[in-house]
Chain A
Amino acid sequence: MKKCLLLIIICSMLTGCWDRHELNQLGIVGAFGLDLDPATGNIKVFTEILNPQILKKEGTPPNSSPTQLEITTGVTLFEAFRNISKQFDRIAYFSHTRVIIISEDLAKEGLLPYIDFFARSDQIRPLVRIIIAKNTSPLQLLSTTSGMENFQAYYLRSIINHDTQNSQSINVTLLDFIKTMSGEGINPIAGVMQIIEQPSPPDKNDKTAPKAVIFSGTAVFHKDKLVGYMNEQETIGLNWLREKTTDGYINIPFPPGEDTFIVAEIKQASSRIKPQLENGEIHFLIEIQTEGDIIETSSSSNISKLEILRMVETALENEIKKDVSSTIDAAQNQFHTDILGFGRALYRNYPKEWKTIKGDWETIFPAVKYEIQVTARLKRHGLVNKPLSLGNE
């Protein structure tokens, strides 16, 4: 008994502290970007490592940078990551990575090997946001600082998280990406970031126009390869189908023909893609139900009247229909890739039929017919009933 106990104690003591890393041995990675090294075809990694010193209240050196950007290359992604330790004094720690930025070139080549690495890794979280750098390099996105946050990774992530404010951008996690990439009857999408030149208050010292990061649009994939970008309007339509428009807004031209708008803030949105199979004909019914508030009007229509409100609702329905159909058109005719999940809906409802047409889906999808039904309700109209008028009329 005593010997046994001794053995257990010795065993547990001699193992040492397996996997132990003190915090000051770690370099916490906030975001990283992937790019293709054009000269060698190797993978190039830009890693943003957070400098905790910046948050230490007292004794902060005034010009110490909040983050450090490491640029490494490698034949494989892992090699590139491991190469960080050749030049950086701490072990890169990826568990707190918030954003992965992928360059256009790399995305066009195909992301499968990298996504595989991310999925396999126990450090990279499935909720990391995937971003495609459009017309720019990930390095640019990681070094174009603005906003309030100390760390660029936080800045990017905050922009991404506020996508619901206008629903003109796509907030996609690694998990979503993996699911849509390997799922049947659906193709992945990803968020898009680009650099724009921003008009800003004139600065005497700086003559170049300041640059800013902008997050809008959609990167459309076919399997794991980037095929193109959707614009903002098409992205709104896509978000309607993904039920991600809640908290967004929509401009309703009203009354029709005039240049005035009523703006509705979307409070609730739900959508369903219903495949219908009649005599071998595939037909999709898209049902969208939404609820919103009137938030701004530039028209003088008296929306407190029920008939007029109903008319506004119809206009809203038409607007949604227009957005959604433009999205479907783009997917069918421009990109020829089913990012909307029509195939998945078909697979779920008609699994047997799906098996027979699965192979040909890519050719069937562009020509598939659909119908959009929208029910929109406007519930509240803010603190005033009628539009404000200019005194006695």
Chain B
Amino acid sequence: MSQQKNSSTTQKDSCKQTKKEFSAFRQLIKESTAIAASIAQLTNDLQTTIPPKSTGNKKEPYFLNQYVIEKDINTNYQNFKLIFDQSSDVIFRRLRITDRNNTQIFICFIKGIVDEQRINNYIVRPLHHFTPDQPESADLITQLQQHIFTAIEINVQTDFDEVINGILEGNAAVFIDGFDQVLLINAKGGKTRSVEEPHTEVTIRGSRDGFTELNLVNISLVRRRIKNTNLIIEPFILGKETHTNIAIAYIKGIAAPAIIDELKYRLNKINTDSILESGYIEQLIEDHPFSLFPTIGNSEKPDKVAAKILEGRVAIFCSGTPFVLTVPFLFIETLQTTEDYYSRIYIVNIYRMIRFFSLFTTMVLPALYIALETFNQEMVPTVLLIKAAAAREGIPFPTFIETIIMGILFEIIRESGVRLPRQVGQAVSIVGALVIGEAAVSAGIISAPMVIIGAITGITSFVVPPLQESIIIIRIFLIFCSATFGLFGVIIGMMLILTHICSLRSFGIPYFEPIAPLIWTELKDTIFRAPLWLLKSKPKLFTVNNLKQKWNTLIKRTLNRKRGTK
């Protein structure tokens, strides 16, 4: 009994013990899950705030480990069917090959972005004629890859996201029963625009080809110009919804690593749903988003982009647009054209000066006119003043209002002409010119000199296309300055603008370089272009060569400051 009693008590004790231990264990589990959650939170935070140090290039994920490629072909088939759901342009082709096991295979691709002929010739037909007479020492997938498919580019992928991306880019994915590997076969095709002469940058002398909407074509156009193993193309996939292909191109050994790193850093930090044009990228990564001046250049011409890459700049190709971005972008680049280097120096230098003069004219002329008409009449030659006074007799508006009316009218005509079909656009400009030029003057509503000023301002604004957007705002700003303070206001306004330009930086490089900071050796390609044999040296600030320690630290410091604030 006693023994029984004893045993029962011990049993009770042990029961209690286990209960205690169990509750403690429960507690532990609770705590550990809490800790795990907090750790997960922390790692998540870390991932979002601090990008990995040695950055890979960002590829926006599709499903991020939600799915994996299974060995069982039916699961894969179900998964992909589920993902592409009802999409009518996604094609699934199931077939069995005549090997020992009658292995099941299915091919998945998207109609319209692949060349179906090629899929037929390189994939489907060889599979139909598959005879397992080869020694089956190798497994099926290597056999298919090495002997059967006649396509040139075949990738073996195991990553689900990569496969999805491959299909969306125009590859055909071949799934084989029993393998968790997928063959991605390049069959890109479909209708795209061919290489044409760009409309935005027309040249008399120089290459006539322009970029298209296809990244691959664009890169090839640059590749053909720079036959150099050091020309590096690095891919990115950006845009959570669009997964747009982006590529940066630079020459290793010329472009400064600091700038390449900075560009990659900024691209990796892009957090956006869609990128439909390179303008999206430009606006997301530029140094001064609110500045009037563009700090990232763009071009449609491969020769121009190639030249910039050769000078140590980095090009950003964005699929879906013919406009390729280049960084760093300096103010002086707005006044340079490709023809400046293809033509002989005399005519080039004359046109350069005309461009400088036009830039100045289009910004300042209306403001100057107001200042001279209403504030500083003593600055005008007497006869001209009397002429102007005669023209102003009976004009109802003050000069300032007149200038604003002319400016707005001109922009309206320009804008309506740009958006309309070419034939109608001409009609608009004729009506506009007639209305302003003839009727308004003869009716005495606007004075004749004002029309001349408006016309000159308009024409000169077309001479420097990269700055056209900024010029309009600067012009209006200066008009206000001069309408309030006369010539004094114009000078103050111009000083403000100049100070602003000098304060800008593009990827750490001073925007107004080589004028401010003054770099003597680079002045030979600013207001004047020296003969080509004197233009051998590369821009010092953003190439690896000749980079002075002083500039190096300067650029690094500004870049660090930028990172700190962003």
Contact = CB atoms under 8 A, between A and B. Distances in A.
Interface of A: 12, 15-24, 26, 28, 30, 50, 52-56, 93, 95-96, 98, 123, 125
Given A12-B484, A22-B373, A22-B398, A123 B378 contact: yes
A218 to B, nearest CB: 27
B518 interface: no
9 contacts: A21-B377, A23-B373, A24-B394, A28-B389, A30-B382, A55-B383, A56-B393, A95-B377, A123-B378
B483 interface: yes
Nearest to B398: A22
Contact of A22 (B374, B382, B385, B387): B374
Interface of B: 373-375, 377-378, 382-383, 385-395, 398-400, 483-486
A289 B502 CA distance: 55
Contacts of B388: 23
A22 B382 CA distance: 16
B382 A28 contact: yes
B485 A55 contact: no
Contact of B484 (A15, A21, A52, A56): A15
Contacts of B394: 24
Contact of A52 (B377, B389, B399): B389
Nearest to B371: A20
Contacts of B398: 20, 22
A52 B375 contact: no
Contact of B389 (A15, A24, A123): A24
B395 A24 contact: yes
Contacts of B385: 23, 28, 96
A18 B487 CA distance: 12
B391 A17 contact: no
Contacts of B393: 24, 52-53, 56
Contact of A19 (B382, B383, B486): B486
Contacts of B386: 28, 50, 52, 55
Contacts of A53: 390, 393
Contacts of A26: 377, 389
Contacts of B373: 22-23
Contacts of B375: 19-21
B452 to A, nearest CB: 15
Contacts of A125: 378
Given A23-B373, A26-B377, A18 B484 contact: yes
Given A28-B385, A55-B383, A125-B378, 4 more contacts: A20-B374, A24-B393, A24-B395, A123-B378
B378 A17 contact: no
Given A28-B386, A50-B386, A55-B386, A21 B392 contact: no
Contacts of A30: 382
A55 B388 CA distance: 10
Instruction: Pick the most buried of A21, A30, A95: most chain B CB atoms within 10 A of its CB.
Output: A95
A64 to B, nearest CB: 12
B123 to A, nearest CB: 63
Contacts of B390: 52-56
A31 to B, nearest CB: 11
Contacts of B391: 56
Contact of A23 (B382, B392, B400, B486): B392
B441 to A, nearest CB: 11
Contacts of A20: 374-375, 398, 483, 486
A16 B389 contact: no
A17 B398 CA distance: 11
B389 A96 contact: no
Instruction: Pick the most buried of A16, A22, A98: most chain B CB atoms within 10 A of its CB.
Output: A22
A16 B374 CA distance: 13
Nearest to A97: B382
Contacts of A52: 386-387, 389-390, 393
Instruction: Pick the most buried of B382, B383, B484, B485: most chain A CB atoms within 10 A of its CB.
Output: B382
